[in-house]
Structure 1
């Protein structure tokens, strides 16, 4: 059993569980997330509330969370008590948004003991409840989020309209307040230049496509975040089922594209994979974006069962551990961008070498 989180050091000292590659279809889907937006009935929305009102929201929400089973062993952090580097680490771990991480107003986060469940306080809405899972697990992530929401609902008075549903700061979240998403890896469709057609079809059925870090982020490493868009006039289960149905279709399309790659361009595909692995294994300076893009090729090779590559969890963890915040925390101080590139390369080499020592498959002939 994972020990409870007691300090920020406990959090950064272990890998996020949604990176462990244990969930269904983990070779295609990195993670699943379900987020619920809620507000307290008697308090103005965050952008209209005074700081003393937001202090009251923080006290009410964290107090209610402490009394739930879902957050019984949680770690509570106030943004204004964290350094800029530590706040950046929370963004890199997909625990908080850039807006919450600004550290200016009374904001914070409650993180469940296994980091699978978290609660942002005083972001765009008073509460942003989030459940994360490894691989493709929409139903499970929804079950966890829904259970925690029910517990909080018994302790807090949420702003709710019988006609509209849950009231939120942004009208695009009003109704269910639900945002469900999957972070999916689609390298074969990109290599075969079929990705734009697939993304167009996704958006035509009312779903959103974003980058690695969600809204306003770029697509890197052939990683796409697909999420529901409709929250008004459609129930939570309908939204979850719609996203699950479309995601399965995308997965099948990507699998067929991978089959074509191995059938028609095996040598070129394996060459791309091994060039990427070689660069990661022996590089002396590398940027975070380079790591993400190189890991995409290695991840494809792992899913194709090419012998001699590192395990999937190692590839996943590099996506986070090589980001600037985690990197500098590991180093123990601030680094300039060129210094980060050198230290990042060292960390990647060490991680891959350790994976080879710890029972990885023999190198290919």
Structure 2
């Protein structure tokens, strides 16, 4: 598979089989692994990094799970291609800046990704739409086991898997969920939730991870502890925290409908009007408007069949995807016009909201 084939093919997060979950958009687990007897990427010379990359990519690409996928050195990708992969949550922004000796292997359905020579030799990642930790863990555990049969990972009997960053020692697992929390944002409760989650040993980040904004009221919540607990214990703890947040979000929605229905439905109605008629939309505004439409779907003001459209547009209204669809490089002002054109076209087919069902 070539990079443009992968970009143009449906992915786990952009096809029509969108998540049915009202709150959890995506579940993801990542494992950090390093080869024994080799310097970590931050210390390796370029020749060493290229040798490690070739060895790792060959082993990963040979796995049955990665059959007919994409295996490519990062330096062969152009900036737009890298941006699209970041927007699909397939690679990190850090990997985009790698100068030499880094690579990626992506499965055909884009649910399994291995980044080579990012911070660690291997960053193994599996993602799925919706709240599917068991399925994601089973998949990534099998990938890790298969790789370990062919590669000698750096491991300490006392510290567990060794990693470039001490915070990843032990299991070297990062489990996360991308959550849509508009009612907590609208009711100004999100700051309280973030504080409580942090006290439980979890991290809360924006749409594209550390340092990014929570556009569209979308937050990534993940574990911070990797040492001293098993993978199953870490996932179970995170699962419990996420269920509590889901309950808080659903309660906040119920309160908004019960106490401030006109304020809430006005926001949803205005979002629908702008998406149908707007001519200039930046990515942040588009995300916030789509967030309100998704909330409207959850409340019954739009048909549930529109959920797949909104989930797809969360990705496709990002700058890289907008430029790819228009087949060119465009400055931000031009992208705002193209984005609005695309959203107007999509929402011209979406029936008007029906607030009578939700109001009850």
TM-score normalised by L of structure 1: 0.93
Q: Is the 8 A contact 2:298 2:304 kept in 1?
A: no
Counterpart of 2:358?
Answer: none
Cα separation, 2, equivalents of 1:175 and 1:49: 22
Q: CA deviation at 1:72?
A: 2.1
Q: CA deviation at 1:362?
A: 6.5
Cα separation, 2, equivalents of 1:54 and 1:350: 46
Q: CA deviation at 1:98?
A: 0.9
Counterpart of 1:292?
Answer: 287
Q: RMSD value over aligned CA atoms?
A: 1.7
**Counterparts of 1:115-264 in structure 2 under 5 Å?**
115-264=110-259
Q: CA deviation at 1:14?
A: 3.2
Cα separation, 2, equivalents of 1:165 and 1:150: 15
Q: Is the 8 A contact 2:16 2:309 kept in 1?
A: no
Cα separation, 2, equivalents of 1:194 and 1:66: 45
Unaligned runs of 5+ in 1: 1-5
1:349 to 311, 326, 344: 344
1:339 to 334, 346, 353: 334
Cα separation, 2, equivalents of 1:97 and 1:252: 30
**1:38 paired to 2:33:** yes
Unaligned runs of 5+ in 2: 356-360
Cα separation, 2, equivalents of 1:198 and 1:117: 31
Specify whether residues 362 and 24 from structure 1 end up closer, same or farther in structure 2 by C-alpha distance, changes over 3 A only.
Answer: closer
Cα separation, 1, equivalents of 2:168 and 2:202: 14
Query: After alignment, is 182-191 or 310-319 more displaced?
Result: 310-319
Q: CA deviation at 1:268?
A: 1.7
Specify whether residues 134 and 199 from structure 1 end up closer, same or farther in structure 2 by C-alpha distance, changes over 3 A only.
Answer: same
Deviations 1:323-343 (A, max 9, x none): 111111111111111111111
- Give the secondary structure class of the aligned counterpart of 2:226: coil
Q: CA deviation at 1:310?
A: 6.7
Cα separation, 2, equivalents of 1:186 and 1:322: 19
Specify whether residues 323 and 259 from structure 1 end up closer, same or farther in structure 2 by C-alpha distance, changes over 3 A only.
Answer: same
Cα separation, 1, equivalents of 2:73 and 2:30: 20
Counterpart of 2:261?
Answer: 266
TM-score normalised by L of structure 2: 0.94
Q: Is the 8 A contact 2:13 2:311 kept in 1?
A: no
Q: CA deviation at 1:253?
A: 1.0
- Give the secondary structure class of the aligned counterpart of 1:311: helix
- Give the secondary structure class of the aligned counterpart of 1:169: coil
Specify whether residues 139 and 24 from structure 1 end up closer, same or farther in structure 2 by C-alpha distance, changes over 3 A only.
Answer: farther
Specify whether residues 310 and 290 from structure 1 end up closer, same or farther in structure 2 by C-alpha distance, changes over 3 A only.
Answer: farther
Q: CA deviation at 1:361?
A: 5.2
Counterpart of 1:3?
Answer: none
- Give the secondary structure class of the aligned counterpart of 2:13: helix
Q: Is the 8 A contact 2:297 2:303 kept in 1?
A: no
Deviations 1:332-363 (A, max 9, x none): 1111111111111111122223xx2xxx6566
Specify whether residues 187 and 362 from structure 1 end up closer, same or farther in structure 2 by C-alpha distance, changes over 3 A only.
Answer: closer
Specify whether residues 23 and 276 from structure 1 end up closer, same or farther in structure 2 by C-alpha distance, changes over 3 A only.
Answer: closer
- Give the secondary structure class of the aligned counterpart of 1:30: strand
Q: Is the 8 A contact 2:160 2:170 kept in 1?
A: yes
Cα separation, 2, equivalents of 1:253 and 1:25: 19
Specify whether residues 156 and 226 from structure 1 end up closer, same or farther in structure 2 by C-alpha distance, changes over 3 A only.
Answer: same
- Give the secondary structure class of the aligned counterpart of 2:221: strand
How many pairs are equivalent? 355
Specify whether residues 109 and 206 from structure 1 end up closer, same or farther in structure 2 by C-alpha distance, changes over 3 A only.
Answer: same
Query: After alignment, is 166-175 or 99-108 more displaced?
Result: 99-108
Specify whether residues 42 and 30 from structure 1 end up closer, same or farther in structure 2 by C-alpha distance, changes over 3 A only.
Answer: same
Specify whether residues 308 and 176 from structure 1 end up closer, same or farther in structure 2 by C-alpha distance, changes over 3 A only.
Answer: closer
Q: Is the 8 A contact 2:269 2:353 kept in 1?
A: no
- Give the secondary structure class of the aligned counterpart of 1:41: coil
Cα separation, 2, equivalents of 1:171 and 1:181: 19
